[in-house]
Amino acid sequence: MIQMNRRALLTTGAVAGAGVAMAPLMKRVTAQGGAPIALTPFVDELPIPGALNEALTVQGQGFEDRCYAWGAPKTYELIEAEGKHRFHRDLPETDMWLYNGQFPGPTFINKLGVPTLIRRINNLNPVHTGFGMPESSLHHHGGHQAPADDGWPLDFIHPGQYRDHIIPNIVPEGDAREWPSTLWYHDHTIDYTAGNVYRGLAGLSLHFDDVDSGNENDPNPQALRLPSGQYDIPLAFRDVALNADGSLFFDQLNIKGQVGNLMTINGKVKPYLKVARRKYRFRILIGGLAREYRFQLSDKSPFQIIASDGGLLETPVTTNVLHQANAERYEIVIDFSRYQIGQQITLNDHIVQIDGNKPDAVAAVGNPLLLFVVDRDAPDPSQVPATLRPLPPIELNRVVATRNLVLSKKGGMWTINDKVWNPTVPLFRPKLNTFEIWNVSVKGGGWNHPLHIHQEFFRILKRGGTTPPAHERGKKDVVLVWDKSPVQLYVGFRTFTGPYVFHCHNLGHEDLAMMGWYDVQP
């Protein structure tokens, strides 16, 4: 059953549901103010999302002409259906929407030059009630793909239907320096992205080639031999709020964007991970609705940042703090050889945030989210070279236009240049194979906006008028913008013509109209 959209509800003056109180460490406060329930920390082992299994060759829907231009694809089935998930040993099962019966969904594995074909089948309940909408879309976030495969918000399918999505696994202008490493995928249905993603429609998408081959023993001299296999671990963070019966609480009319009181990693609250005394690669995704994180190890030891949204950095960045906004990905390498067997270290979050607009403070004492238990020795043939993947040059001579984007709020709606989402009128019409400068700022100091641009990675030229920090100098598809930190972006439009959206990735802001689109012209 298609429900009235959020904007219509706001216009009619409907009253939002009860708010969610922030819980003390490892206690759940119910949405209706019930008694807190203590949760024992670090009793669930960190689950690792399994890879999507290759399916038999699928036929139909006319994908062949679009796909075989890049070669024969590997084909997969992705099935959306209702299911159960348990966030913690001490919590009841929660009703969710799952991809192939799991949360997060199965991981896409992509290889440069080998197309991936995803047949997405919508088996959701057509008479669903509650938040979210069973009509569904799919966005391969960070992917370089045609408009038909990008997840245009109105390209949703109904329960009982399927749609084929092609990930061509090509790079702009054939430049392998543009190849990514950690992307993700999620629902992108107009007005209901937040609710559908919150119900569980999200997963990871990993990319490999001869340089980042996923084999730390690779004899190929091009291979970086980064930590791989069981030592290459995705960490998908998202926060949730639960009702007394264990069901998901979601305030569909929360204009700020909802922040939950339980933080999960790969679908579990405060899990643990047994680690060997060697290097590990962690691919960190913030896949929630609005919340930001500020990560630090409990002993404040350094780690290396090796990749951002768009793939490997040129050189590793050594630090002991990482601030990360919604939808951003960073990859870090932690070397546990500095610890003794039996030692325990936690990955802590230091952000205090009670609503979706922005963090309220940075806490001196962090909230431990993931426990590392050092329990063994192991060989370590992996390495983190001083040079990872050279970045494509920034060619300002190819810039043909400069545009200004102001992110603000007007009439109870979130806006870009004082305009709400209008699917019939693009904000820009860039030319194919050109670049532009986008100056992005926030009007008003009460909120942050993680801006996401579809179809191609950008580069941050300036943040707050100066050179961005080292970890933000790689390729990006999300940039956190706040009132005292306007950004200047170098944005390209290559390979494909047609419509693509850009929007705030605080999903409450996106669904309440902070989204525009551009139409790439031949």
Q: What is the 3-state secondary structure (H, E, C) of 316-358?
A: EEEECCEEECCCCEEEEEEEHHHCCCCCEEEEEEEEECCCCCC
Please check the confidence at residue 427 and state whether its pLDDT lies above 90: yes
DSSP-assigned letter for residue 42: T
List all residues 6 or more positions away from 392 whose beta carbon is below 8 Å from its beta carbon. 175, 177, 178, 475
| Two structure tokens written together for 505 | 């990735």
What pLDDT does residue 245 have? 83
How much is the mean pLDDT over the chain?
91
What pLDDT does residue 235 have? 98
Whether 398 contacts 365, CB under 8 Å: no
What pLDDT does residue 445 have? 78
Domain with CATH 2.60.40.420 in the chain: 6-17+42-208, 229-376, 396-520
Tell me: the pLDDT tens digits for 344-359? 999 999 999 999 999 9
Please check the confidence at residue 29 and state whether its pLDDT lies above 80: no
Whether 233 contacts 337, CB under 8 Å: no
What pLDDT does residue 12 have? 31
What pLDDT does residue 70 have? 76
46: which strand partners?
none
What pLDDT does residue 37 have? 57
pLDDT band at 444 (very low <50, low <70, confident <90, very high): confident
Tell me: the pLDDT tens digits for 450-498? 999 999 999 999 999 999 999 999 999 999 999 989 999 999 999 999 9
Whether 241 contacts 33, CB under 8 Å: no
pTM of the model: 0.93
- Domain 229-376 falls in which CATH fold? Immunoglobulin-like (2.60.40)
Task: Kindly indicate whether the domain formed by 396-520 is annotated with CATH number 2.60.40.420.
Answer: yes
Class of domain 6-17+42-208: mainly beta
Percent of the chain topping pLDDT 70: 90
Tell me: the pLDDT tens digits for 374-385? 999 999 999 999
What pLDDT does residue 72 have? 81
Tell me: the pLDDT tens digits for 149-207? 999 999 999 999 999 999 999 999 999 999 999 999 999 999 999 999 999 999 999 99
With 0-12 CB in 10 A as exposed, 13-18 as middle and 19+ as buried, what is 2?
Answer: exposed
**How many Å apart are CA 484 and CA 326, to the nearest integer?**
19
What pLDDT does residue 63 have? 54
Q: What separation in angstroms does the CA of 157 have from each of 120, 148, 161, 236, 486?
A: 9, 13, 6, 26, 37
